[in-house]
Amino acid sequence: MPSPVVSSAAIKQRAQELGFAACGIASIGEAETQKYFEQWLERGYHADMTWIAREDAVPKRSDPREVLPNAKSIICVAMHYRTDQEWDESTFGNVARYARGTDYHEFMPKRLRALLEWIGEQHPCNGRVYVDTGPILEREWAQRAGLGWIGKNTMLLSRQLGSYFLLGEILLDIELEPDRPHIEEYCGTCTRCIDACPTDAIVAPRVLDANKCISYHTIENREAVPEHLQIKFGDWIFGCDICQEVCPWNNKSTFFSVEPQLWQRDEMPTLLEWLMLPQEEYSRRLSKSPLKRPKLKGMQRNAENALENRKMG
């Protein structure tokens, strides 16, 4: 491999300055987990998220060079989102930690583009930025970049960061010094995430059936939630962190995010407010929030389900 044209250490330093908790680099090649992803699709585990199964995305997932011709390196970053703020579950119900503040798509791509621009100032290059918005098997590349291993709950895990972090990537057409892949796995015989899932959505280690997943139903599913599942949702109204909350690596981690845009917003509606929230107020109070994804109708359905579950509990 030729000598890198930009220092990997300098890239990591700049990534840290931009607010990323970790940064790793991998050399581009064919994706090794594509066949497992295709098996997952064949089993229908993606539910009705049909965009995931688009045929034109297959070659791009298989090889990032189909996305960026002549790509040679991929930079993988992690942004931590667990804060030390107290969350009043009795008032607000349960919302996944990453979604309590501003949608990370509002600012994380900008940070990655700033990193790409900085790299371009060191050496001319072409690059593409991704934050779960394209056909990139990001957990595989993060593992190959040394950021962690894929746990039994399908999340990327780090002994330092746990799993409360978001992933992003930059594809580059220049050679960079790669990190050592994270080939070790530290889940051992632990099955706490599998055992704790109330809907049995983790059907095997590292295999999740979205048809049963609380996150899928409270975010992506636009239809009525099947009653036999809904009664197991507790008071989760957006996403679910159960498999992360029980993970020993998250309980051992002392890392907390310092990114203010991920802190809980002041105008978060209460469970009861959701039921009578006007569209105009929803748009204002939840501006740039992940909670816009299910739309007001979906959030009201979720809040109603949560309140019903509380009555039954």
Kindly list the catalytic residues: 132
Extract the runs of DSSP E, i.e. beta strands, from the chain: 22-27, 73-80, 94-95, 127-130, 149-150, 156-157, 165-172, 202-204, 207-208, 236-238
Output the CA angle 248-254-258, nearest 5 degrees.
130
Are the beta carbons of 141 and 74 closer than 8 angstroms?
yes
Output the CA angle 248-254-256, nearest 5 degrees.
115
Rounded CA separation 263/270 (Å): 17
CA neighbor of 261 nearest in space, from 93, 18, 91, 12:
18
Are the beta carbons of 210 and 46 closer than 8 angstroms?
yes
Are the beta carbons of 73 and 178 closer than 8 angstroms?
yes
